[in-house]
Amino acid sequence: MQAAAQAVELLDPGRAARFRLEPTGHLGLVEDGNSPADLSWNPLRGWQGHATEPAAQALLDLYLPISSATAGRPITIAHLGQSLDGFIATPSGDSSFVTGPENILHLHRLRALCDAVVVGAGTVRADNPRLTTRLVAGRNPARIILDPTCRLSPRLSVFSDGQADTLRVCVAGKSVACGAPAVGESLLEVPAGDAGLDLAELMKALRARGYRRVLIEGGGVTVSSFLQAGLIDRLHIAVAPMLIGEGRPAVRLPPQGRLQDCLRLRHRIYQSGNDILFDCDLRSPVDTGFASSLRPGSVQRVL
Ligand SMILES: NC(=O)c1ccc[n+]([C@@H]2O[C@H](COP(=O)([O-])OP(=O)(O)OC[C@H]3O[C@@H](n4cnc5c(N)ncnc54)[C@H](OP(=O)(O)O)[C@@H]3O)[C@@H](O)[C@H]2O)c1
């Protein structure tokens, strides 16, 4: 959190700098080049962690890419928690909970690191979520609700609990159907695109409001439409060891005839409780990821 704030507010964008983590949890500047540092800032690449504990380094690897966002290098990250067979909820919309408590904590950390969290109308309708950071320290992100034809009830929590700013996004010309916005709620009209809202225009509007770190939290339709529009920089998919059988799908993209035209993602793998978290970087050249360090034909037990 400190690193994220520092990247945006305190750092001279042109200068490298090194920091140690103080017992208070704050970052202290390390002026002497020979003294050890826990974190270093590179204006071109962002944050790098130098933890000696593997568990601490894993946390830095997972969260520093998000904390490295600046006005010139914003980030959009999507997260889904899915079953082994690729579903995020049952057909009736029950998704409490596909993944375990550690992944829910991870999701709250992502919210705390981000300026804004985007969810689709289906999620708001099914879950009535608050989208707050109540499990961790850090402020609540602004809530961006994709409600293209203003069908969601104003009584839902995001429009009525006053816990954070809420922006209801609808297709141009449809905001009249939303009625008067509640306190803390505002409306944004976005032009229609091929698949509903023009998401590139939406992202431009969010960046113009100063939202450098944006979390797309679901559901599957929403994450898929951002992916299809090429607007995701990082994709976190937590896979839970359960089978739902049939239900609301996770990522669904238009069919491809050839596997070589499908997205193969550069990734890191983390264990998060009983779930496996894939952290996929959609902006770096593809490699074979984790397997590339193994001898051909070998396997390695990781957990
Ligand atoms: N496991 C998880 O990680 C997770 C996370 C979030 C939600 N969930 C669960 O997933 C289910 C909901 O997911 P879902 O995939 O069915 O729905 P969703 O993505 O939450 O919402 C889809 C709706 O959002 C609007 N929308 C999204 N993208 C749009 C675009 N590009 N243009 C215009 N409108 C857009 C549309 O609203 P209209 O219908 O009004 O047109 C669309 O039908 C719920 O059961 C929820 O509990 C699970």
Pocket of ligand 1 contains residue 131 by CB under 6 Å: no
**Quick check: 223 and 120 in contact, CB under 8 A?**
no
Residue of 76, 80, 117, 248 to test ligand 1 pocket, by largest number of atoms within 8 Å of CB: 248
Q: Which stretches of 191-289 are assigned E, i.e. beta strand?
A: 192-193, 196-197, 213-218, 234-240, 248-249, 266-272, 275-281
Does 188 score more than 60 pLDDT? yes
What spacing in Å lies between the alpha carbon of 119 and ligand 1's midpoint? 7
Pocket of ligand 1 contains residue 127 by CB under 6 Å: yes
Residue of 146, 199, 225, 277 to test ligand 1 pocket, by largest number of atoms within 8 Å of CB: 146
Who wins on pLDDT, 219 or 32?
Answer: 219
Q: Which stretches of 162-207 are assigned E, i.e. beta strand?
A: 166-171, 185-190, 192-193, 196-197
Sign of the dihedral defined by the CA atoms of residues 114, 115, 121, 124, in that order: positive
Q: Domains in the chain, please, with CATH?
A: 1-69 (no CATH), 74-290 (3.40.430.10)
Does 147 score more than 90 pLDDT? yes
Band (153; pLDDT cuts 50, 70, 90):
very high
Report the relative pairing of strands 213-218 and 116-120 from DSSP bridges: parallel
Query: Is the pTM above the cut of 0.85?
Result: yes
Place of tokens 């700013």: 165
Lowest-confidence region among 21-35, 62-76, 135-149, 243-257: 21-35
Who wins on pLDDT, 14 or 281?
Answer: 281
Query: Which residues does residue 125 pair with via DSSP β-bridges, in sequence order?
Result: none
Band (24; pLDDT cuts 50, 70, 90):
confident
Pocket of ligand 1 contains residue 103 by CB under 6 Å: no
Average pLDDT, the chain: 92
Lowest-confidence region among 150-164, 168-182, 223-237: 168-182
Pocket of ligand 1 contains residue 126 by CB under 6 Å: yes
Band (238; pLDDT cuts 50, 70, 90):
very high
**Quick check: 27 and 39 in contact, CB under 8 A?**
yes
DSSP codes of every residue in 63-106 = HHHHHT--SSS-EEEEEEEEETTSEEE-TT---TTSS-HHHHHH
Pocket of ligand 1 contains residue 100 by CB under 6 Å: no
| Residue minimizing CA distance to atom 41 of ligand 1 | 148
Band (13; pLDDT cuts 50, 70, 90):
low
- Per-residue pLDDT at 287: 61
**Quick check: 280 and 236 in contact, CB under 8 A?**
yes
Place of tokens 């290098």: 73
Pocket of ligand 1 contains residue 17 by CB under 6 Å: no
Query: Which residues does residue 117 pair with via DSSP β-bridges, in sequence order?
Result: 143, 215
Q: Following CA atoms 32, 36, 42, 47 in sequence, which dihedral angle do they give, to the nearest 10 degrees? A: -140
Write out the two tokens for 273.
Answer: 């409780």
- Per-residue pLDDT at 1: 80
Pocket of ligand 1 contains residue 49 by CB under 6 Å: no
Q: Could you identify the atom of ligand 1 that is nearest to the CA of residue 79?
A: 3
Pocket of ligand 1 contains residue 81 by CB under 6 Å: yes
Mean pLDDT of 272-285: 94
| Residue minimizing CA distance to atom 45 of ligand 1 | 93
Does 301 score more than 80 pLDDT? no
Mean pLDDT of 127-152: 97
